[in-house]
Amino acid sequence: MSQIENGFDAYLRRWSLIPDGAPILTHSSRLLPVRRGGEALMLKLSHAEEERFGGLLLEWWGGEGAVRVVDHHDDALLMERATGPISLADMARRGEDDAASRILCAVAARLHAPRATLPPALIPLETWFRSLFAAAPGQGGLLAEAAATARSLLAEPREVGVLHGDLHHENVLDAGSRGFLAIDPKRLRGERGFDFANIFCNPDAAVALAPGRLARQASLIAAEAGLERRRLLQWILAYSGLSAAWHDEDGSDPKLALAVVERARAELRN
């Protein structure tokens, strides 16, 4: 597929970019690795509102804990490209799960640091849970328990601020001398603890569902992030229920997410 067919050509000319790899297609964006003056960058064209607002949040972070925005125009975003060799997912798979989680917590701390202003058009965290709240009455069981837990947490939020919204092993990349940096934020506002819940559904089923993994990582992440362990477990239960509801909506398999719900519930009852 040519650059023109992918819609990149106008921006290659606009920003004097040279393609540096094959296009990457996702459900909401098209990306192209590029270079300018020797600098490794990523050109991203989004056709989803969520992705466009995510670019505004990256810009607001100013390269602190997240990739730096170099330029933007309409639906196009030109940003720093993390090219370091370390993969947090691979670390977790080869027995370095604790180290990967510590890196995720360190990145989260940078993203959550107080700032003088707020970015535009943040989504309240309770709005994010509407799929779970819609699905729970008909499904009952685990989803109903997850929904009830989410409602309880959302009713009395703690440490409210700007959230990444999708923090996990594949969304935090090695940027070499710049350290590890986040990509693909979802522009949420809510309780800080929510941002750590998706770590427990990742990087894959083999890691996430390994015996004792959830309990061990809950203790580690609570300590690293300064969170109450029980409340973190509640966020894990609520988030994994939401993830299962999303899987049901798009016709994919909710098995992993539901298994995490079960493990979080069991740990809360210990």
Alpha helices in the chain (DSSP H): 9-14, 49-61, 88-93, 97-112, 125-128, 130-139, 141-155, 205-208, 213-225, 229-250, 255-269
SS3 string, 200-220, reads: HHCCCHHHHCCCCHHHHHHHH
DSSP label at residue 75: T
Q: Residue 203: what residue type?
A: P
Question: What value does the CA radius of gyration of the chain take, rounded to a whole number of Å?
Answer: 19
Q: Which residue among 166, 184, 204, 250 is the active-site one?
A: 166
First to last CA, the chain: 54
Q: Catalytic annotation on 97?
A: no
Find, among 72, 41, 36, the residue nearest to 54 by Cα: 72
- Supply the residues annotated as catalytic: 166
